[in-house]
C-alpha cells in the first residue's frame, strides 16, 4: 500500500509536466513554426493557402487605367498569398464588380479579370438586362461563341441569378446561371 501512495505524486508530476510543455510549445493551438514543404508543381495553377499578413506588401497598384470608364476601386475585399509565391487580390469596384488579380512572385500580373453577379431583369435573345449586385442595371450582349454554364437548365429568364467574367478589354469571357 505504501508503494501506490509514493507513485501517485510522481504520476501527477509527470502529467503536470506534459500539460505545461504542451501549452508552452504552442501545440494547443495546432500551429507550427516550421514551414510546410512545397510539393506543388511549378506549372500547376496556384491554390489559396493563407491570408497575407500585410495586405500592402508588394505592388498594390491596380491597373486602374484598364478599368471601365468612371469605375474605381472601392475597397480591397481579400488579399492572400498563394503557393509558389503567387498573390491573389480581390477588390470591390464602384460599379459592383470584383476585380480579381493574380500576380507571380516577381509581382507581374498573371491573370486579371472583373467578375459580376446579379439578377436578370429582362431578356431579348442574347441581350440581357441585369441588376448588378452592389451596382446599377447593366445591359449585357452575350456573344454567340460564349457557352453559358447552366447546370440546372434554367435558361436566360427574368429573376434568374447570373454571374459573368469580363477581361480587362471589356469582353465577356464566361457566363454562369444559377437557379
Listing DSSP states for 114-177 in one string gives: EEEEEEEEEEETTEEEEEETTS-EEEEE--TTSPEE-TT---S-TT-EEEEEEETTS-EEEEEE
Q: How many CA atoms lie within 13 A of 99 on its CB side?
A: 26
Query: How confident is the model over 134-157, as a mean pLDDT?
Result: 92
pLDDT in the model for residue 68: 83
pLDDT in the model for residue 53: 33
Query: Phi-psi category of 102—alpha, beta or left, where left has phi over 0 and alpha has psi -120 to 50?
Result: beta
pLDDT in the model for residue 66: 78
Query: Phi-psi category of 27—alpha, beta or left, where left has phi over 0 and alpha has psi -120 to 50?
Result: alpha
Tell me how crowded residue 55 is: count the other CB atoms within 10 A of its CB. Answer: 13
Query: How confident is the model over 53-58, as a mean pLDDT?
Result: 36
Query: How confident is the model over 7-28, as a mean pLDDT?
Result: 62
C-alpha dist (Å) from residue 101 to 10, 50, 78, 128, 132: 59, 16, 11, 27, 21
pLDDT in the model for residue 23: 62
Helix (H, G, I), strand (E, B) or coil at 98: strand
Q: Which of 163, 48, 57, 179 is nearest to 113 (CA)?
A: 163
Query: How confident is the model over 15-19, as a mean pLDDT?
Result: 66
pLDDT in the model for residue 9: 66
Please tell me the distance from the alpha carbon of residue 107 to that of residue 105, in angstroms, as a whole number: 5
pTM, two decimal places: 0.63
pLDDT in the model for residue 89: 95
Q: Average pLDDT over the chain, rounded to whole?
A: 77
Q: How confident is the model at residue 91 (pLDDT cuts 50, 70, 90)?
A: very high
Q: Are 176 and 165 within 8 A, CB to CB?
A: no
> pLDDT for 36-55, tens place per residue?
444 333 333 333 333 333 33
pLDDT in the model for residue 20: 67
- Strand 172-178 to 161-167 pairing: antiparallel
pLDDT top residue among 171 and 5? 171
pLDDT top residue among 58 and 113? 113
pLDDT top residue among 84 and 139? 139
Amino acid at each position: 500500500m505504501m508503494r501506490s501512495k509514493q507513485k501517485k505524486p510522481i504520476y501527477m508530476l509527470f502529467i503536470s509536466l506534459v500539460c505545461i510543455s504542451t501549452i508552452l510549445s504552442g501545440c494547443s493551438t495546432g500551429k507550427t513554426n516550421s514551414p510546410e514543404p512545397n510539393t506543388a508543381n511549378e506549372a500547376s495553377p496556384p491554390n489559396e493557402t493563407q491570408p497575407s499578413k500585410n495586405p500592402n506588401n508588394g505592388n498594390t497598384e491596380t491597373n486602374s487605367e484598364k478599368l471601365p470608364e468612371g469605375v474605381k476601386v472601392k475597397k480591397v475585399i481579400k488579399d492572400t498569398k498563394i503557393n509558389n509565391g503567387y498573390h491573389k487580390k480581390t477588390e470591390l469596384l464602384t460599379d459592383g464588380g470584383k476585380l480579381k488579380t493574380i500576380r507571380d512572385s516577381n509581382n507581374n500580373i498573371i491573370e486579371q479579370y472583373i467578375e459580376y453577379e446579379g439578377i436578370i431583369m429582362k431578356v431579348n435573345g442574347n441581350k440581357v438586362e441585369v441588376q448588378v449586385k452592389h451596382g446599377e442595371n447593366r445591359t449585357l450582349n452575350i456573344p454567340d461563341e460564349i457557352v453559358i454554364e447552366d447546370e440546372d437548365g434554367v435558361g436566360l429568364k427574368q429573376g434568374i441569378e447570373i454571374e459573368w467574367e469580363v477581361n480587362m478589354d471589356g469582353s465577356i469571357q464566361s457566363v454562369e446561371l444559377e437557379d
